[in-house]
Amino acid sequence: MSAENKAIIRRLYGEVWNGRRLDLISEIISPSHALHDNNASDSSIGPEAYKTQVIRFLSGFPDLRFSIDDMVAEDEKLVVSWNIAGTHRGEFMGIPATNKKMSVDGITINHIANGKIIDSYINWDALGMLQQLGLAPALGQLKGAIAR
């Protein structure tokens, strides 16, 4: 089962994200899929919600690329360590384009059953992305009362 699940994840990142094949999302993401991402505030159930997330990132970072660093599978769980990189050329989550490059790491724990992703728990470096875009100071650069 782990080989099949790894193929599903490779297809998600390779064909959907990197290949811009949004039409494949409903083949990979379950209708009941729940996307758990602390950095997202909107509805996260089903393929359309996942598609909204993909569009959000691709609109802000048109050259966005996903790379898989590592995958670990056990039973119906598959953990992916990944990196995204791109140039902030469009609006992203209310932030106007900065034209700066960013590269951040993340980890997703996927629950896969019957050939579809049922749940995804995502943790990624949103603060690091904001720092690279010049929208947040590096933690060592804080000044004033906060840094004391």
Mean pLDDT by 10 residues, the chain (148 residues): 92 98 98 91 86 96 98 96 98 96 98 97 96 90 58
Quote the pLDDT of residue 142. 61
The domain that holds 43 is classified in CATH as: 3.10.450.50
How many C-beta atoms surround the C-beta of residue 144 within 10 A?
6
- Pair of tokens at residue 104: 């951040």
Q: Which domain holds residue 93?
A: 2-147
Residue 75: enclosing H or E segment and its boundaries? none
| H runs (alpha helix) in 22-67 | 25-28, 46-60
Quote the pLDDT of residue 144. 60
How many C-beta atoms surround the C-beta of residue 7 within 10 A?
12
Quote the pLDDT of residue 41. 73
- Helix, strand, coil fractions of the chain, as percent rounded to 5: 35, 35, 25
For residue 144, give the DSSP letter: G
Rounded to whole angstroms, the Cα distance separating 17 from 25 reads 10
Residue type, 118: I
Quote the pLDDT of residue 55. 96
Count the alpha carbons within 13 Å of 50 in the hemisphere toward its beta carbon: 29
Nearest 5°: CA angle at 126, between 15 and 108?
45
Instruction: Give the total number of structural domains in the chain.
Output: 1
Rounded to whole angstroms, the Cα distance separating 23 from 32 reads 17
Rounded to whole angstroms, the Cα distance separating 12 from 19 reads 9
